[in-house]
Structures are given as structure tokens and as C-alpha cells.
């Protein structure tokens, strides 16, 4: 599913909970941004652990 579709679905969910359009879009955008940043950090940590594992294997 595309990011835009996910943003709109999350915003619609928040709207049903009583938020305004702007509040719903801000909330949904924040969730997607935090998810993006978490995914980036996780990839970085996994890459570092793979390098460390390979280094230990060489020793």
C-alpha cells in the first residue's frame, strides 16, 4: 500500500475518533514519520551487527 493511501486511512481513522481534518493529518503524518525513522535506525543497527559478526568470524 502506498504511503499516501496509508496516510489517508490513518487520518480517516483519527477523524472517526473526533479529530479535525488538520489534527488527523498531523497525527497520521507523525505516526508515519516515526515509523520511517524507526525503520532507518533498525536497518543501521542490523548492518552494524552484521559487520561485527563478520569481523568476529574472521578472528
**The model scores a pTM over 0.75:** no
DSSP-derived secondary structure for 7-58: HHHHHHHHHHTT--HHHHHHHHHHHHHHHHHHHHHHHHHHHHHHHHHHHHHH
Residue pLDDT, tens place only, 9-59: 999 999 999 999 999 999 999 999 999 999 999 999 999 999 999 999 987
Q: Where are the domains of the chain?
A: 3-58
pLDDT of the residue at 38: 96
User: Dihedral, CA atoms, 37, 20, 9, 43, nearest 10 degrees?
Assistant: 0
Identify the three-state secondary structure at position 10: helix
Amino acid at each position: 500500500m502506498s504511503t499516501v493511501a496509508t496516510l489517508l486511512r490513518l487520518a480517516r481513522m483519527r477523524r472517526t475518533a473526533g479529530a479535525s481534518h488538520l489534527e488527523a493529518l498531523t497525527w497520521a503524518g507523525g505516526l508515519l514519520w516515526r515509523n520511517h525513522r524507526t525503520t532507518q535506525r533498525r536497518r543501521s543497527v542490523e548492518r552494524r551487527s552484521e559487520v561485527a559478526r563478520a569481523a568476529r568470524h574472521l578472528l
